[in-house]
Every structure is written in structure tokens, then in C-alpha cells.
Amino acid sequence: MTAADRPLSVEELSVAYGERRAVDRLSFAVEPGEIYGLLGSNGAGKSSTIKAIVGLVRPVGGRITVFGLDNAIDPIRVKASTGYVPETSLLYEALTPREFLEFVASVRRLDPGTTTERVRAYATAFRLAGEFDEPIVALSNGTRQKVLLIAAFLHQPPLLVLDEPLNGLDPRSVRLVKEMLVRYVADGHRGVLFSTHTMEVAERLCHRVGILDRGVLRGEGTLEALRSRVAAGDATLEEIFLELTDEGDGVRAAVDSLGEP
């Protein structure tokens, strides 16, 4: 497999905000046909990593390539190959979903006929019909998230970068997105980077996970590989996460310190 076949490669990535280093020499890759879960506590560096991948923050070190394209050298082609759902629903609130998706389709230079069919199919699947011509400012968080998901899928990109994509979605939509992602990578070429701190979702959906703690990768691999690493054959991902991030004892101590409710 060449670099041009690999959906995402992150090498020695470092992100800093002033003196504070949010990500420290992080390396991982998303392989073709893979859903890679990036797990971590709040502030572990997941969103900073994702923002560096999609070009929102400039890393202080390292290299990011998408299908062999360096995002520091060829950012426009990298963005064209990527679909992104941000952690928070940040959209042009004065536009309606239709107007927003028209804008996204235009800058992505999509064919109007195909786009219309795709938008109709996604809007129907997400049950967005009634809200499709309302301004986004009037929509609920869950509905905004659906709009962002449609925008990410709209050009059928070979790489999807999803930062907490299930935030605010109703159970039906959560199931829908999970099914969509599984089918999406079934062709064996596309890849999905999926950030979450919901262990159950990662356990069921992701082929491999990377556990991030204070900007450093503490462990990476399939669930079985991680279980063997912590020497617990039936451990859940949550237990593995707490073990690798040394948080297990901390949680118990924190609960004890709270005393009786």
C-alpha cells in the first residue's frame, strides 16, 4: 500500500496554544476501509488534533497527509478530499439548511443534479423536510448536527473527519449515522476518523481506537489488542481506557472524596 492509498497519516504532530502544548508528537494513521476512533477525556487533545487535520489550527510540529497530500503544502486539495463535522454546530446561522448546502455544494464544485438528489435523500433520511427552509438560527442543536452531517457526506469524500458527530442527535439518528458509517467504509478505500468520549459507541463502531491522554497517545489498536495489552481478556473499552490513562484509581478516589450523597 502506498501513501496515496492511506486516507490519513499523522506523524509527530504537535499543537500548542501559547505555552500550553495540547498535542505532543502524536502519530497514528487511518487505513483504507477503517473507522478509527480517537478517544480521550475532555481536554485530552482530540479536538486540537482534528482541527489541525482540517486546517483550523497550525501545528507547531509534525506532518499530516491525506491520501498522500500534505495539508501544509496542498490544503485546498486536502479539504476537497475531506468531509468534516465539527465538535460544535458552527454554521452560517442566517442561512437556511438549503442555502447552506447550496453554498457548500458550490465551493465543492458539485454537479447540481446529483447534489439535488443526494440532498433530497439525506434530508428525507434525517427527517429534515419541515426544517429545510427555516433559518439555521431557529433550529435545535440536533437538527444543526444533521445539517452538518449532510454537508460532510454531500461530496462523498474519501476521508470523513467527525468530531463528536453524535452530539445532540436523537436515538434514531444515532443509529442511522452509525449504519451510514459502516456502509461508507465498506468499499475498502475510504476512511473515517471518529472522535468521541463515549466508549460504548467506539467499542461497537470503530475498527481500531487510539487513546489520547494530555496530548499523548497512550495506546492504539483493535479492542482485542488493547485487551491483551492490559492483560484483561474480557475488559470493556472503558476499563481499558481508565487503565491506560491511569484514571481508574483517580475515579475511585474522587468518588470516595465526595462522601455519602
Partner 1 sequence: MGWREAARLSGLAFAELSLQAIYAFRQGNPVPPGPAHALAARARRRVLESKAIVSAVLAFLAAGAAFLVRAAPLASGVYGTPVRPGVFDTGVVTGLLSLDLAFLWWTGMQILPTFLSSGVLPVLEPLPIDERTLRRAAALLYVRLFDLPALTVLVGTPLALGVALGPLVGLAVVPGALAAVAFALALSLLTGRFFVRRVQGSRGGGGRTIVRWAYLVLWLLPAFAVFAFVTAAPALFDLLGHVGGDTGPLSAGRLLLVAFPVPLAVLPAVAATGPGGLGLGPAGTVAVLGACAGYGGLAVGALAWVAGSVARVGHVPVRSSTAGPLANEPIRARRAAFAVLVKDLRIASRTPGYAFVILLPILDALAIGLYTFGSAPSPDEALGLALGAVATAALVATFFGPAFFAIEVFAYSYGRTLPVTDRSVVLGKVGLVVGMYLAAAGIVLGFTLARVFDPALFAVFVLAELPAVGAAALFELGVLFWRARTKGLPITNLYSGAWVAALVAVPGVVIAGLPLLAFRLLGAGRFSVGLEAMALVAIAELAVVGPLALGRRER
Residues of the shown chain interacting with partner 1 in the complex, contacts defined by CB under 8 A: 16-19, 51, 54-57, 75-77, 79-80, 82, 84, 86, 88, 90-96, 98-99, 101-113, 115-116, 119-120, 123-124, 128-135, 137-139, 143
Q: Closest approach of Cβ 163 to partner 1, in Å?
A: 11
Element (H, E) at 35: strand 34-40
CA gap 194, 164 in Å, rounded:
7
Q: Which is nearer to partner 1, 37 or 86 (CB)?
A: 86
Pairing of strands 61-66, 8-17: antiparallel
Q: Closest approach of Cβ 157 to partner 1, in Å?
A: 10
Q: Which is nearer to partner 1, 153 or 241 (CB)?
A: 153
Q: Which is nearer to partner 1, 104 or 237 (CB)?
A: 104
Buried b (16+ CB within 10 A) or exposed e, 187-200: eeebbbbbbbebbe
Q: Which is nearer to partner 1, 19 or 224 (CB)?
A: 19
Q: Which is nearer to partner 1, 38 or 139 (CB)?
A: 139
Q: Closest approach of Cβ 161 to partner 1, in Å?
A: 9
Q: Residue 94 phi/psi, 5° resolution?
A: -80, -5
Q: Provide the grid cell at 77.
A: 486539495
Q: Closest approach of Cβ 96 to partner 1, in Å?
A: 4
Q: Closest approach of Cβ 85 to partner 1, in Å?
A: 10
- 248 Cβ partners below 8 Å, 6+ apart? 239, 242
The residues with which 161 forms a beta bridge, in sequence order, are: 84, 193
